[in-house]
Structure 1
């Protein structure tokens, strides 16, 4: 069974990578490496996107000729693949495209990342009323993400039921499959030789214990560093080991940079803080090797899964993370590291925050800031966890090794892509079972807002062409006919009409049979598209070549 990838191309700032871009691109690379198929179809909007797709194929030693560009409207070809996957949740338009040609032609699946933005939530809202089926899926990387998506779907179902759609339901599947990493890569870049090189560059002492945070340095939209700074400084004042923190990543703006620096200057007198920029050529693969502990205390609803804890685990580091969203599924407490309890304001305490964001009184950053400001990390538990690891090198090593084994055994792409394969096979079974029951649908369905214009605007004209109407030539001189056909104001848009050869045949039929019904014409031109033929007859009447009974 072949799976096609719906890919729009690579279009983002590499100097400021976002998790969703990294995850999407890494998925496609892994798809090439671990998906067992002889060709790799790509449903893409243009040649540029297909070329980007081929570049990823080249990295996995896949031949360019094995990458096939497919038009989203090529229903026949797409039906041969069976599954179309998009590395984000936006399968809405595709579901309507499929609806036009037949809902059992193929399955659709998308991947949900961040569920905090109104754009993503609007997509999920549209999915509820789009013609998605139970052989389609939105893959959720964590239980927490699935909970949000299911809540949004339930909210819309409840609302539509209140409005009278009593039997309405959205049956799309919501499987949980985590994001993946290349575990071997992180093992390779964390060897003792690299550790020695990095620590020398950063002037880190042999017994100095380094706590690493890696990711965007944004306290409003990612993780507030305050709990880590307070805990590390407290421990540094008591322990016999020098303690330092590495912040590896990039600042979104000067405001975040200044805020970090002010907080560090006021809190950290003993604990040393080091910044390693994301594009530092001395650290092309990060500062994993230099570090002893990884700590990420996400307190923001924008964080949906979190790749960095898995990358840290693959690098052999024990991890200390907030008990939050996808982190909760990733780290086993007291085995791979520690999960620090979090506390959030109670349900219904943020209705005004939600409404102000919805109504445009505030923006997305305000929404995130208001939510994370009332989300707390248990600093006491954090301090105890870090203290245990800082004072116990053997414990760090033990947890780091179990973390590495878990990263390789659970989160490596070699495990994740087969999980997707199993999902796609399951969706295929569901779809084929429905095919056997033959859905009672029209020849072609239309989007409710994009109906056939002659149906949508049917009350505009006096009347419409009937198949019982009789058609006859009004202009019988071919030179005059050709003259009319060549006028730009007559032939405005050729594509919806018959070809010039078929138009000629139609006129010849009208010469041969001077007064015939539309039904007669359809019978005498069986090879022609009925819709184009009907449109062309009215067009010939419009430009004065033909007439029909009752039309003057």
Structure 2
């Protein structure tokens, strides 16, 4: 129900989602892949992307594309292995209710975590604690810190609302993100075949390193520190403590003339952050370069040019840390804050150095303002209470600045670890294994019956709440008969106008059959039952619900003068 190929600003979420779906489709472990998006426009955009990247699969009919309105019929028609969503917040519970009503089997519904710190997410998590959640449903937390956060959030919501253990929430499984190491090669897209891939990459990396360092004015004997992230103190990291750590190095006698800092990443147009940072860096004696919004090729050259990767992240918006994997895959030692998912990615003392952090014990003021303030304001306020130890950061920088051998050793170990554990091929194995485990979780007949009967407490019961709005409510005993216009539609002398937004619920053939059944007058309840019987929809989701779904078609026909009350 998500496109996975996302447009807009370059964010970790969009990079991760594209990497996942691309890896899945290249592996191609399933017979077909279904995408149901918000509207036809989004579907067309995705279709073009699939045509560009997976034309053979598209020609062979391996993709099914539709809109949300197509989901109920698809659930009743296809035997899905699982539904995986690119986000674990928005649609999980709502899709679960649709599955419970329409699907022939209770398949797993999963979604991956990304940023978890938005205040609006707590009501969304509460919505996942309900009787229609199956034990096959799961949140796939990308880091151990995210596992802890999700479990704590569900526990707190249960306690606050007095929800018993019998009301389930999705299980929380740890499945990390991955990277495509091939896209980080400075020879990506090269057609050269005269050398082995390894030697070609090494040669291209050396050329890229020299070229970028020349552009930056970095001599070969100099040390280039690279920060690659969204350039934002309110949604990613505060660079100022890093500048203070470099100031400490200068005071301790480290020759700053041989030290360069490059800050690169996404920057909104018109943002003055680089000028502010550059001004302070100049005052502190730090030689800083800013590369805003670099394309992938330039990103790869920056990784090749750098000697040390630094990421002193302090923001709760961060959950995983793809840039750390990219840097390590490029052979760089990593200095990172001991924070959130970062500690899953850096082996302290082997592939890099983790810097201790200190967080707040009390956030009531921010908690109470978070739903009123902009997310960026909340994240900034909390980040300014998250301390990355400046002294420890300075010590880590000194170790790697002064030791080329240590940089080389950590870089080699980091590259080996990322290649073995975080390449998308390896990570995809974990996704596939997780879906198999979830499908193997038993669901008893009694449990399945309870799932199918569950009504989500946060779903708007429109008929009940708005019962006083119309003059009367349709009743099963109400008699209807076709009109002259209805007979004309049945005999194909007239074509009904069906708006795009309701096309999924007004099938022309079903409409004609309904009009035929009503040619001599028939009770609404009987008419709906016959339509359900014709459609073969008396399934495990319950014949009453199935027959009542045709009430909408009856009312539509009454509205457009194809039926009338007797």
Please indicate, yes or no, whether the TM-score normalized by the shorter chain is above 0.5: yes
- SS of residue matched to 2:120: helix
Change in CA separation of 1:79 and 1:157 when aligned onto 2, cut-off 3 Å: farther
Question: 5+ unaligned residues in a row in structure 2: which ranges?
Answer: 188-201, 536-546
Q: In the alignment, is residue 254 of structure 1 matched against residue 268 of structure 2?
A: no
In 2: Cα distance, 1:523 partner to 1:28 partner: 42
- Determine the structure 2 residue equivalent to 1:87: 86
What is the CA deviation profile of residues 236-294 of structure 1, one whole-angstrom value per residue up to 9, with x for unaligned ones?
A: 46235711111111333534234323321322x1x311122223698253500110000
The 8 Å contact of residues 42 and 68 in structure 1, kept in 2 or not, is answered as: yes
Mark the CA change 1:78 to 1:150 in structure 2 (over 3 Å): closer, same or farther: farther
Q: Deviations over 1:330-366 (max 9, x none)?
A: 10000001000001122xx2101110122x1x32222
Change (3 A) 1:83 1:504: closer
- 1:16-165 alignment to 2 at 5 Å? 16-54=9-47, 55-56=49-50, 58-59=52-53, 62-65=56-59, 66-70=62-66, 71-76=70-75, 79-89=78-88, 90=90, 91-102=92-103, 104-129=105-130, 131-161=132-162, 165=163
How far has the Cα of 1:105 moved from its partner?
Answer: 3.5
Cα pair distance change 1:410/1:281, threshold 3 Å: closer
Structure 1 stretches of 5 or more lacking a match? 1-5, 511-516, 548-552
Distance 1:60 1:296, change over 3 A: farther
Larger CA deviation: 479-488 vs 20-29: 479-488
Give yes or no for contact 2:241–2:390 (8 Å, CA) kept in 1: yes
Conservation of the 8 A alpha-carbon contact between 1:99 and 1:446: no
Q: Give, in angstroms, the shift of residue 49 of structure 1.
A: 3.6
Within a 5 Å distance, the mapping from 1:258-337 to structure 2 comes to: 258-267=275-284, 269=285, 271-279=286-294, 283=298, 285-337=300-352
C-alpha deviation, 1:463, in angstroms: 8.5
Cα distance change of structure 1 residues 266 and 480 upon mapping to structure 2, 3 Å threshold = closer
Mark the CA change 1:540 to 1:48 in structure 2 (over 3 Å): closer, same or farther.
closer
Aligned to 1:390: 401
TM-score, normalisation: structure 1: 0.81
Distance in 2 between residues matched to 1:385 and 1:319, nearest whole Å:
10
Q: SS at the partner of 2:266?
A: strand
**Rounded Cα–Cα distance in structure 2 between residues aligned with 1:534 and 1:18:** 42
**Aligned residue in 1 for 2:365:** 352
Q: 2:443 aligns with which of 434, 448, 458?
A: 434
With over 3 angstroms needed to count, the CA separation of the structure-2 counterparts of 1:321 and 1:451, relative to structure 1, is same
C-alpha RMSD over aligned residues:
4.0
Q: Distance in 1 between matches of 2:486 and 2:50?
A: 55
The DSSP-based 3-state class of the residue aligned with 1:283 is helix
CA 1:505 to 1:109, structure 2 compared with 1: closer, same or farther past 3 Å?
A: closer
Query: Given the alignment of the two structures, is residue 338 of structure 1 paired with residue 353 of structure 2, yes or no?
Result: yes
1:514 is aligned to none
Q: 1:160 Cα shift?
A: 2.0
Shift of the alpha carbon at 1:112? 0.9
Which SS does the other structure have where 2:71 is aligned? Answer: coil
CA distance in 2, matches of 1:123, 1:439: 24
Cα distance, 1:424 vs. partner? Answer: 0.6
The match for 1:8 among 3, 6, 10 is: 3
How far apart are the structure 1 equivalents of 2:480 and 2:379?
69
* Contact map agreement 2:109 2:136 (CA 8 A) in 1: yes
Contact 1:78 1:105 in 2 (8 A): no
Q: Is the CA contact 1:78–1:106 (under 8 Å) kept in the aligned structure 2?
A: no
Give 1 or 2 for the bigger CA radius of gyration: 1
1:504-549 deviation line (CA, Å, top 9, x unaligned) = 4433477xxxxxx8888899999557544898599889989664xx
- Asked if the contact 1:75/1:105 (under 8 Å) is kept, the reply is no
Q: Is the 8 A contact 2:132 2:454 kept in 1?
A: no
Give secondary structure in 2 for the equivalent of 1:113. coil
1: distance between equivalents of 2:32 and 2:516?
A: 43
1:25 deviates by 1.4
Counterpart in 2 of 1:506?
Answer: 518
**For residues 469 and 484 of structure 2, what CA distance do their matches in structure 1 show?**
37
Distance 1:480 1:388, change over 3 A: closer
